[in-house]
Amino acid sequence: MNLRRTLALGATGLVAAATLTACGFNYPTDKINNLTAGVNYRDGSVEILNAVVVAKEANGGTFIATFVNGSTSKTIALQSVSGDNTAISNAQPTTFSLGPGSLRNLATDGGIPVSGTFALGQFVNLTFTFDDGETANLSVPVVSDSEQWTGLDTFTPSPTTTTSPSPNAPASPSDSAS
């Protein structure tokens, strides 16, 4: 009798342990989880993954992400990238096409130069427009060009113009003394 009771309790304990340790269905472990600073856009035909603006200093940087065409039948092209005219006032994309089921990693292709008034650690808003009429709006973090992002900021600010004296300007006292 004791042996039967021990076996029954042991079997019940095994069933309870198996039930309580199982993950079940629709738990967070079933969801995509990317541990990175970048943000993801997965709502359209083209997914934009691990998106960041990499910057060496404030007000200029390079947008980096991976674009994935989820369509199995049509080629989709990036037409434009724009900021919200607050933090990002200028984006200079080179348009590109994505064949069906293909991807493009901007980290290996040089990225998209962006400029405006933003700082490291800030989030900036960008809108991507594709030739199929879809748009993607992202709030993207500005990260430092260091560690995993080292060397990805290829942004070159436009040369600043220096003022030179006008030929009609009056001579300075040192010019007239000679």
Instruction: Find how far residue 145's CA is from the centre of its chain.
Output: 13
β-pair partners for 130: 78
**Percentage of the residues of the chain whose pLDDT score is greater than 90:** 53
pLDDT in the model for residue 176: 46
The pLDDT, as a whole number, for residue 135 is 95
The 3-class SS string of 29-41 reads HHCCCCCCCCEEE
For the chain, the C-alpha Rg in angstroms (whole number) is 28
Average pLDDT along the chain: 82
| Res 118: pLDDT | 94
At 34-73, the pLDDT tens digits run 667 799 999 999 999 999 999 999 999 999 999 999 999 9
pLDDT score of 164: 44
Q: What is the mean pLDDT of residues 151-163?
A: 69
pLDDT digits (tens, 9 = 90+) for 5-18: 777 777 777 777 66
Name the H helices within the chain.
2-21, 106-109, 173-176
pLDDT of residue 162: 41
Average pLDDT estimate for 9-36: 66
Q: Which residues of 130-143 are buried (b: 16+ CB within 10 A; e: fewer)?
A: beeeeebebebbbb
Average pLDDT over residues 113-132: 94
Instruction: Name which of 20-29, 32-41, 67-76, 93-102 the model is least confident about.
Output: 20-29
What global pTM score does this model have?
Answer: 0.70
Q: What is the pLDDT of residue 30?
A: 65
What is the band of 80 on the pLDDT scale with cuts at 50, 70, 90?
very high
